[in-house]
Structure 1
Amino acid sequence: MVSARALPDGSALDDSALIDGSTAEPELFALLFDRHADEIYRYAARRLGPEPAEDVVAEVFLIAFRTRRNYDRSRRDARPWLYGIATNVISQHRRTENRRNKAMARLAAERPTQFDEGGSIDRITAAGMQPRLAKILVTLSAAERNLLLLVAWADLSYEEAAVALGIPVGTVRSRLHRVRAKVRRALGGVDPFGLEPSHG
Structure 2
Amino acid sequence: MTARHDRMRSLVEENASDLLHYFTRRVALPEDAADLVGETMLTVWRRVADLPRDDVKARMWMFGVARKVLSNHQRGRQRSVALAERLRDELRVAVPQPSGVLDVIETLPETQRELILLVHGDGFSITDAAKLTHTNPSTARTRYATALASLREALIKTDH
TM-score (norm 1): 0.34
Going by fraction, where is helix more abundant, 1 or 2?
2
Q: Which has the larger radius of gyration?
A: 2
